[in-house]
Amino acid sequence: MSVFEHLSSYHWDGKLVLTLAAFALNYGEFWLLVQFYSKNQLAKSLAMLKLVPVQNRVTLESVSQGLNDLIREMKSVTACVVELSELPGRYITLDDPQLSRIISTIPIAVYWTIRSIVACISQINMITAMGHEMMNTQMDSWETSMLANKLKNIHDHLAETLRLCYRHIEKQRSSESLKMLHSLFDTTHIDNMKILTALIHPKNHTMPLQDGLTKRKVHLDVLRRKTVLLLISDLNILQDELSIFEQIYTESRSSLLGADGKSHMPYEVVWVPIVDPIEDYERSPSLQKKFEALRAPMPWYTVDSPKLVERHVVEFMRERWHFMNKPILVVLDPQGNEASLNALHMIWIWGTEAFPFTRAREEELWRRETFTLNLIVDGIDAVIFNWINPGNYIFLYGGDDLDWIRRFTMAAKATAKDSDVKLEMAYVGKRNHSHREQIRRISEAVRAENLSHSWAEPALMWFFWARLESMLYSKIQLGKSDDHDEVMQGIKKILSYDKLGGWALLSKGAEIVMITHGVIERTVTVYDRTWKTHVPTKGYSKAMYDHHHDEVLRETGHPCAHFDFHITARSGRIPEKMNCFECHRPMEKYMSFACCHDEKLLDQDENYNF
C-alpha cells in the first residue's frame, strides 16, 4: 500500500504509468541477466558479477518466461487504463449509470496491476540476491501464473469496456452530426456546396467523385450551382433498373448536345452507394469488386467509395428521405434545397421531361395525361407505339400460364381474322420478379411459336411494371386516389388482375376498351357461337365488350381485388384507405410478410396488402 500512498496525488492512470516506468528500470538489469546463454558479453559479465550459478541458469530462464507472461498482461492492462482515461469527457460522463459502472472498474484494474508489479520486483530481487539458493521458485512461479490469469481477465473486461465506450461515443457523435445535417438542410444557402460536402464527406479525398465518362477523379466543384440528382442505393440495385435509367440518361444527354459537342444537360446525376455497416465493405473483397463492377459502366458521376458516405449521413437518408436500401432519386436544386425526395417515379413515367422534378411539375404533367395506351407504353417499345392508330385493335396481356396464353392468343387472332380487323398482340410478362426465369422461358416460347410480340430484353418487362407502379404511387403522393381518377382505376385493375394469373387489356387505337382477367379467354373462344353476329352492327371491340360483361362476367363474377404496397422509400405514403375499383366499396386491409428467396432481384422487406 506504500506505493499508493506515495502516488496519492496522481490520477489512477498516472499511478499505474509511473509504477510501470519504475519497474521497467529494475527489469532491464534482470533481462540482461537472462541473456546469459546469448553471445551478449555484457550479459555474461553481469551474470558473473551477480554470482548466478551455472546449474541454475535453466531455472532462471523458466522463471523469466513466467515473468514475461505477467509483464505482457501488465502492459496490456495499463494500455487499456490509459486509453479509458483519455476518452473525451464530453461523451463519457459519470451521469450515465452504465458508464459510471464501467469507469468504476478502473481502480480495481490499477490495484491488481500494481500488485503484480510489486510481486515481479520482489521475485526479481530474490533471484538476483539468492544466487543458487532459489528454494521458493515453484511457489513464486505459481503466484506469477495466478496474477497473469487475473490480469488477463481484467484486460478482457477492459477491452470490452473500451468497445462499449467507443460505440457510445460513436452514437453520440453521430447524433450530433445528424442534428447538424438536418439543420443544414433547413438553412438557406447561396449554392449547393455546403450541402454536398456534408453528404459526401471528402476527408482526405480532395476529389471524391469519379466522372463516369472519363473515369477520372474530380472535385465536388463540378456540381456547383447545378441541379443534382442523387441516385442512392445499396449494392444490390437491379441491373434492369440501372439499364433503363442509363438508357433514359444517355438519350437525354444526346438530345442536348450543343454545337460545341458538349452536353448542356440542366442537371447532373451522382450515384451514392450505401453499404451499412461500412465495416462489411472494408473487410469484404467481394463487396469491393461488386462496387467497382456496378460503377464501371455508369456514364454519370459516382462517389469514389462507399466509405465517403459516413454513418450519420446514411442515418439522415433513412430518417429524412426514407431510404430503405432500394434505389431512390433525391433531387437537389442549385442552392441545395430538396426539390424532390424521390423523383424515380417521375423519371420512369416521363423521363427527363419531368425536369425540374418538383411537385408542381408532376401535377402539371398529370393534367396533360389521360388513361390511354399511349400513357401505358410510352417510352418502352417503339413497335407497340407504332401500332397505335384508329384502325388497329391491340391486346396487351400477361400471366405465367403458357397453356392459357396459347389458347387465348390463338382464339383472339381467329376472331380478328374472321371479323376482318387488324389485331396486334403483345405479351408483357408479370409483375412479380420471383417469376423472372419462368417469364423469360414463356417469353421465348411466345416468340418461337409466333403467338404474339414479346420483349426479348427482361429489362423492358421490368420497366413496363415499374412505370405502372410509379403511376399508382405518384397519384397516391399527390392525393389523387379517389374513385373518379381513371388512371388510378385502370392501374389498380392491371396490378390486381396480374396477381390472379392471366389478364388482358384491349384497346382500339389509343383508346382503352377494357381491362379484364383470365376469363377473357372464354369470351374469345365462344366467338362463333355468340358475339360473332354482332360484329357487323356493333363493331369488333364493342361486340366483344358487351358479351364479356353481359354474359361471361355475369356467370363467373368478379374476382377479389388485391394488390400490394411494398414498404420502401419508393412507395412513399401508403393510403389509409382505398376503395375497390370494381364495386367501389372500401377494401379490407391486411398485413403480410413476404420473402422471395432472391436478394439480388427482390425486395425482402415487409409489405402490406390492401
Q: Do residues 44 and 125 both lie within one domain? A: yes
Judgement on whether residues 354 and 385 belong to the same structural domain of the protein: no
Query: Does 325 share its domain with 379?
Result: no
Q: Is the pLDDT of residue 562 over 80?
A: no
Taken as a whole, the chain contains a residue count of: 610
Listed in order, strand segments (DSSP E) in 245-316 are 267-273, 301-303
Rounded CA-CA distance 225/460 in Å is: 35
Grid cell at residue 379:
417510352
Give the confidence band of 194 by pLDDT, cuts at 50, 70, 90.
very high
Per-residue pLDDT at 477: 84
At 244, the pLDDT band (50, 70, 90 cuts) reads: very high
- 283 within domain boundaries: yes
Please check whether residues 356 and 384 belong to one and the same domain. Answer: no
| Distance from C-alpha of 300 to C-alpha of 214, rounded to nearest angstrom | 10
- Which three cell numbers, joined as nine digits, stand for 166? 467507443
Q: Who wins on pLDDT, 8 or 104?
A: 104
- pLDDT value, residue 607: 37
**Into how many domains does the chain fold?**
3
Least confident among 141-145, 395-399, 446-450: 141-145
Q: Is residue 183 part of a domain?
A: no
562 or 271: which leads in pLDDT: 271
Separation between Cα atoms, residue 20 and residue 24, nearest integer Å: 6
pLDDT of residue 53 exceeding 90, the answer is no
Same domain, 146 and 285: no
112-140: per-residue pLDDT in tens? Answer: 888 888 888 887 777 666 554 554 555 55
* Cα separation, 187 vs 337, whole angstroms: 9
- Domain containing 111: what range? 2-178
For the ranges 83-92, 588-597, 600-609, the lowest mean pLDDT is seen at 600-609
In this structure, the answer to whether residues 601 and 505 fall within a common structural domain is yes
**pLDDT at 606 (0 to 100):** 36
Based on the fold, state whether residues 202 and 290 are members of the same structural domain: yes
Three cell numbers at 486? 381513371
Identify any residues that bridge with 426 across adjacent strands, giving them in sequence order: 396, 453
Last residue of a domain, one of 316, 343, 367: 367
φ/ψ of 381, rounded to 5, equals: -145, 115
Q: Residue 303 above 90 pLDDT?
A: yes
CA torsion 47→51→55→56, rounded to 10°? -70
Residue 596 pLDDT = 45
Q: Are 256 and 264 in contact (CB under 8 A)?
A: yes
What share of the chain in percent tops pLDDT 90?
45
What does the block give as the cell for 337?
434545397
Q: What is the reported pLDDT for 37?
A: 43
Nearest to 504 by CA among 544, 563, 564: 544
Q: Could you tell me if 424 and 322 lie in one domain? A: no
Residue 585 backbone zone (phi > 0: left; psi -120 to 50: alpha; other: beta)? beta
Where is the domain boundary, 351, 367, 383?
367
Strands (E), 492-549: 503-508, 511-517
* Residue 594, pLDDT above cutoff 60: no
* Interatomic CA distance for residues 161 and 357, integer angstroms: 49
What is the side-by-side order of every strand in the sheet holding 209-210? 217-218, 209-210, 301-303, 267-273, 227-233, 328-332, 338-340
pTM recorded for the entire structure = 0.77
- Residue of 49 and 434 predicted with greater confidence: 434
Beta bridge partners of 515: 505
Q: State phi, psi for 506 to the nearest 5 degrees.
A: -110, 130
- The mean-pLDDT minimum among 32-36, 310-314, 547-551 falls in 32-36
For 358-407, give the secondary structure using H, E and C.
Answer: CHHHHHHHHHCCCCCHHHHHCCCCHHHHHHCCCCEEEEEEECCCHHHHHH
Q: Is the pLDDT of residue 487 over 60?
A: yes
Confidence of residue 593 (pLDDT cuts 50, 70, 90): very low
CA angle (549, 554, 560) in 5-degree steps:
90
Q: How many Cβ atoms from other residues are within 10 Å of residue 593's Cβ?
A: 9
> For residue 60, what pLDDT band results from cuts at 50, 70 and 90?
low
Same domain, 317 and 384: no
pLDDT at position 241: 93
Residue 521 counted as domain residue: yes
162 pLDDT exceeds 50? yes
Q: What is the pLDDT of residue 500?
A: 81
378 and 357 in a single domain? The answer is no
445 & 351 share domain: no
Confidence grade of residue 542 (pLDDT, cut at 50, 70, 90): very high
Is 590 among the domain residues? yes
Same domain membership, residue 455 and residue 435: yes
Give a yes or no: residue 188 inside a domain.
no
Cα–Cα dist 87/230, whole Å: 37
> So what's the pLDDT on residue 578?
64
The answer on pLDDT for 56 being more than 90 is no
Q: Of 346, 367, 388, which residue sits at a domain end?
A: 367
Q: What is the mean pLDDT of residues 65-71?
A: 80
Residue 592: per-residue pLDDT: 54
Do the domain assignments include residue 184?
Answer: no
